Amino acid sequence: MRRGLDAEAIFSRERVASTRLAMLGRLGVIAVIAIWISLTRNPPLVYYTLGACALFAAITALHYRLVPSYAQMRWLPYVFYGLDVAMVIAGIALSILIFFDHVPPAMVYHFNYFPFFFLVLISTGMSLSPRVVLWTGACIVAGWLMLYLVVDHPAGLDWDDIPADARGDAFLAYILSPDWVGGFSRIQESIVILATAGILSLIVYRARRLVARQIEAEQSRRAVREAFGQYVPDTVADAMIATGGILPPEQRRASVLFCDLTGFTAMTHRLGPERTVAVLNDYFDCVAACIGRHGGIITQFQGDAALAVFNAPTDLPDHERSALNAARDILESCAGSTFGGQEMIPRIGIATGELVAGTVGGAGRRGYTVHGDTVNLAARLEAKNKDQGTRILLSAETAAALGEGEALRAIENVSLPGVAEPVTVYTPTH
């Protein structure tokens, strides 16, 4: 239910934005028309016409201001667009009464007023409401035909008054006559307006459906991401959603950070299982935030340990430095904080090299993980901190990638489990 309400709220915002854009566009058109009239009309005609433009602009500005009220007053757009049509009709009628007092009213059809209705009708498309479009089309037809009934008179000429053998000047004499009403043409124009309104309403309906589907798809994606993101990092969740839930294993060069706690076993005995879990959750929130700030993702929590990777599954330039900065961030954050009332002293190992990253698992249960000697090396470096009295140890490949710009101290002849020969490892000096 809430997703439906969210979709309606999003759609309402889009409707407000698009309708307001249409009103701004209309104000621009009114300004252009006003400038054109001021350059091409003489007094007093120019004053009346500019006054009409100013009135139309004022109503448009009021419409712009009240668009956000559509949700509470659903009748409001019908009133405004009906008023737009009424103003155009009134303007046409008044032009005959004021400026052409001594000519037949049917002369109104000798002036090109009809296209103004299309400007009103087209702007309704931005309301994203097929009903509003159809309503406006119906108002135009009703007003146009009503105007026809007003200007028609017994001496009015229509198509059926033209003799069948009328040609040339004889034919033009009827068409250009001040008494020419052309009722059939008025009906044809009304049909065109209704057809245009119908087609536009279908386009709006289709666009509305597409927008609704996009909103629903985005909401579904967000819901899956939020649920999935509780179990895998956001970066992995986004990538897995985009690929249908599977990230094929790939070999790539990356940096691995392995983080473990000092004195965890003693703390567990002291606090008990329930409180230990609460403390760990608080601590892991801090670790995850530090790693995330530097572009890494945590692929695994195990006991008091966290395994993070930099440069997988998405590319991360200078991932070696990002891993080291994340390690420093973890130490600094833990140094000034307590977690559930407990102080945490993490030890960290960082290794860089080739590894295999991807989703693994079966029987409907999968997870994103990394495998390889680089992962094992990071874990062994973390454990070696205890013997060396350090907090961060780096592999030789990580140190080489960092370059001379990073202040590191080399520790030679370090024996690591599973490594045949002693190796040189590095620790930051600050």
| pLDDT, tens only, 53-84 | 899 899 999 999 998 888 788 899 999 999 99
- Is the separation of the CB atoms in 319 and 249 below 8 Å? no
| pLDDT, tens only, 213-258 | 877 777 766 766 665 555 455 666 666 666 666 678 889 999 999 9
Separation between Cα atoms, residue 302 and residue 300, nearest integer Å: 6
pLDDT for position 1: 37
Separation between Cα atoms, residue 306 and residue 314, nearest integer Å: 20
| pLDDT, tens only, 267-294 | 988 999 899 999 999 999 999 999 989 9
Q: Six-digit token pair at 404?
A: 């001379």
Separation between Cα atoms, residue 297 and residue 289, nearest integer Å: 10
Name the segment(s) of the chain with CATH classification 3.30.70.1230. 247-428
- Is the separation of the CB atoms in 406 and 321 below 8 Å? yes
305: pLDDT strictly greater than 50? yes
pTM given for the model: 0.54
pLDDT for position 280: 94
| pLDDT, tens only, 11-24 | 788 888 888 998 99
pLDDT for position 347: 97
pLDDT for position 115: 84
What DSSP string describes 109-149? Answer: GGS--THHHHHHHHHHGGGT-HHHHHHHHHHHHHHHHHHHH
Strands (DSSP E) found in 194-270: 250-261
pLDDT for position 243: 65
Q: How confident is the model at residue 135 (pLDDT cuts 50, 70, 90)?
A: very high
- Report the CATH fold assignment for 247-428: Alpha-Beta Plaits (3.30.70)
Phi, psi of 370 (to 5 degrees): -130, 145
| pLDDT, tens only, 21-57 | 989 998 998 899 899 988 888 887 788 888 888 998 9
Portion of the chain with pLDDT greater than 70, in percent: 86
The average pLDDT across 391-397 equals: 96
181: pLDDT strictly greater than 60? yes
The average pLDDT across 175-200 equals: 84
pLDDT for position 5: 47
Separation between Cα atoms, residue 297 and residue 307, nearest integer Å: 9
pLDDT for position 201: 94
Residues 6+ apart with CB under 8 A from 401: 320, 321, 352
- The region of weakest confidence among 170-174, 195-199, 239-243 is 239-243
